[in-house]
Amino acid sequence: MTANPPKAQAASSLRTGLQIINAVLERETSGRTGFNVARLAQEIGIDPSKASRMTQELCDRGFLERREDSTLRVAAGFHELARALNHGLPGASRPVLRRLAIAYGAGARLSVRDGVLVRLLRSEARAPWPARAGLVTPCWCTGAGRALLLDHSGDEIAALLEGYELIGVGGPGAAHSAEELTAANDRDRPGGMVAAHEEFEHGITEYAVPVRDAEGRIFAALAVLGRQTDLRPREEAIRADLTAAAGSLGRLVDTGAP
């Protein structure tokens, strides 16, 4: 029998992952005791070993988590992504991103976190800063990544990055440990904006702010990036523009209107 082509395998895995998340979410909202992996496999009709592999991957990505009794529940990563996609946020962010890109002759991006990765939802850019939606970058050496972690404690950051090798990734200003990442966020947090100078690429600065919902939870990051020599002299103007834009996008998610 011929093996499934890669695209078919990816589609099958995606369908199974969505089935798993949906089953866990429905069980959780019903108020009944959550599924363990064996019961989940039985519920959606897949092999227990496949259920184990898939749930582990979803846990690693931050979409599911295990309770102390080994039952599963939907985790913060799923809720963050759902809030970001709610009310057509990527489409509604287009004029905001375009205005920022034109104003600073730079790239303007809206991103969400997927575990230790930052996933680009939408980008508007002046040449030479184009980027395609879906682009993924590490959370520890990008402005958007650090903004998405701005409320994380040092212990939470250490747990998130456990087992990941930070050396050799990013630019000359990149953090090389969880402690360095925590220190960088502690430095930037009072001003409300991450200033990532040469953290992802030599000569490039990325300014980023978290986008928050009505309860103050971070669900996305808004960023401007370009040549360090062009952006650093305009840092305070960028801070004001990004903060105002993030506030408007946060209100959009809460109200469903710009």
Whole-number pLDDT of residue 81:
64
pLDDT tens for 133-161 read 668 889 999 999 999 999 999 999 999 99
pLDDT tens for 190-214 read 999 999 999 999 999 999 999 998 8
CB 24, CB 72: distance < 8 Å: yes
Neighbouring C-beta atoms of residue 88, cutoff 10 Å:
10
Comparison of pLDDT for 86 and 56, the residue scoring more: 56
pLDDT tens for 50-74 read 999 999 988 888 888 898 888 998 7
Alpha carbon 196 to chain centroid, angstroms? 16
Which helix (H) or strand (E) segment is 85 a member of?
helix 76-85
Cα–Cα dist 169/31, whole Å: 43
In this structure, of 19-28, 65-74, 104-113, 197-206, the range with the lowest mean pLDDT score is: 19-28
* pLDDT for residue 175 is more than 70: yes
Whole-number pLDDT of residue 202:
95
Phi, psi of 21 (to 5 degrees): -60, -45
Comparison of pLDDT for 15 and 30, the residue scoring more: 15
Neighbouring C-beta atoms of residue 238, cutoff 10 Å:
23
Give mean pLDDT, residues 159-170.
Answer: 88
- pTM assigned to the model: 0.69
The overall average pLDDT reported for the chain is 86
CB 225, CB 129: distance < 8 Å: yes
Nearest to 158 by CA among 142, 174, 181: 181
* pLDDT for residue 5 is more than 60: no
Residue 199 tokens, joined: 């953290």
Cα–Cα dist 150/186, whole Å: 8
